Amino acid sequence: MPQNPNILVIDDEANICEGIKRALAPQGFVVEAATSGQDGLQKIQAGGFGLVLLDVMMPDISGIDLIPAIHQYDADIVCIIITGYATVELAIRAIKQGAYNFLTKPFSVDELTLAVNQGIEHQRLSLEAKRLLATEAETRHLTKEKARLEELDRAKRLFFRLMTHEMQAPLSAIESYLQLMMEGYVRPEQQHEILEKCMTRVEDEKNLIADLMELGRLQVIGPASDTTSIHLDEVLRQMVNEMQSQAVQKNLQLKVDIASNMPTVNGSPKLFKSLWENLIDNAIKYTLPGGEVAASLHVENGQVVGEVCDTGIGIPVEDQAQLFSEFFRAKNAKELNFHGTGLGLVIIKRIIEGAGGTIQVESQEGHGSKFSFRLPISDPFGTQVPEV
């Protein structure tokens, strides 16, 4: 059976305090007394009381006015007003201040006991309701967390299943080609062509492993340790210079347009180099000979905006929602036999979001694509400047 809470009587009449003590002690209640509001508040702040009986008329403060101070210390303490001058207005005022009940002097032992027991039961039910609400809130939180973890587990299993398939595909192709050669099904004049196909598949496997390592680093290790204030325009110029030969070999025009006085952004030089490399490489890869790739950089609405546009094969509308999913490749890219790992855009998105930015794509099948990203500007001390 639960122990009764301790009771405090705050009344400047000593005989009232003593009478309440004698009435409640035989029922197992521990009762203490205070003869002023200030004394009573000090006892409450010392702790240990679950119910307070308050006289309305005291020299220093009205018992009704003391209720908010009591509840500020402990909102679960039950306050019962006792007075010899009961009126409807006084009762309403007491209840508005947080009193649970109202006892009119003189009161009998039975009336006192009933009021006290009702107050204790009210407190018990109130605490139980709070406990249940807290339990329900925790249950909801745990349910949501369980669902989130289950979703992560499903995503992880799907990722590993796709990764296994993607890594096995080039090896299976190489194995098939070599098996045909070993069993004599390939004429000598065809062997060079078969070996070239094997080398292509080896390159696919190397690219896949490199992208998986980069993606794993972004996922597991987290933000780069070499984060600093970077001139993104300098990184772009470097990458355009390095990739011009790739564009020339494919008979493409590779253009760059950078606004003057570009501000800096916070990030890793290595990751931002990878960002431009992936975006431009994708544009060159999926643009047919004679086409054009253009990279640009400017400031808009307090953010650095980077864009890579091409006149390539474009992306079907139905495929655009899945572009940033692991191992996803658009239908027309696979049909035209363009080689890719399906991880480049995932890496790009992780780099952009890791630097506090966003990325979006606009594309029309057969008419090219535009990938644009936005990054917050950094100040000279390397902290990000929020957008106004």
d(Cα 268, Cα 227) in Å, to the nearest integer?
4
The model's confidence at residue 285, banded by pLDDT at 50, 70 and 90, is confident
The domains located in the chain, with CATH, are: 6-107 (3.40.50.2300), 153-221 (1.10.287.130), 228-376 (3.30.565.10)
Higher pLDDT, 116 or 168: 116
pLDDT of residue 306: 94
Strand partners of residue 306 = 297, 373
**How big is the CA angle at 83 (ends 78 and 87), to the nearest 5 degrees?**
105
Written as six digits, the tokens of 29 are: 């209640």
Beta carbons within 10 angstroms of residue 62's beta carbon = 19
H helical segments located in the chain: 14-24, 37-46, 63-73, 88-97, 109-182, 188-216, 232-249, 269-285, 331-335, 344-354
Cis bond upstream, residue 106 (ω within 30):
yes
Written as six digits, the tokens of 251 are: 């008979």
* Single-letter residue type at 238: Q
HSE-CB for 279 with a 13 A CA cutoff = 32
* Single-letter residue type at 284: I
pLDDT of residue 87: 73
pLDDT of residue 253: 93
pLDDT over threshold 80, residue 344: no
Rg of the chain, C-alpha, whole Å: 38
pLDDT of residue 304: 94
pLDDT over threshold 60, residue 388: no
* 82 contacts: CB under 8 Å, gap ≥ 6: 11, 16, 53, 54, 55, 56, 63, 103, 104, 105, 107
Q: What is the pLDDT of residues 134-165, one digit of tens each?
A: 888 888 888 888 887 777 666 566 556 656 66
pLDDT over threshold 70, residue 340: no
pLDDT of residue 385: 41
pTM score: 0.48
pLDDT over threshold 90, residue 181: no
Give me the percent of the chain exceeding a pLDDT of 90: 19
**Mind giving me the DSSP string for 333-361?**
HHHTT----S-HHHHHHHHHHHTT-EEEE
Sign of the C-alpha dihedral computed for residues 89, 92, 93 and 99 taken in this order = positive
Name the average pLDDT for the chain.
82
CB of 53 closer than 8 Å to CB of 7? yes
Cα torsion through 94, 99, 102, 105, rounded to 10: -80
pLDDT of residue 1: 41
pLDDT over threshold 60, residue 223: no
Q: What is the pLDDT of residues 22-80, one digit of tens each?
A: 999 888 888 999 888 888 888 988 878 999 999 888 887 888 888 998 998 888 899 99
The model's confidence at residue 237, banded by pLDDT at 50, 70 and 90, is very high
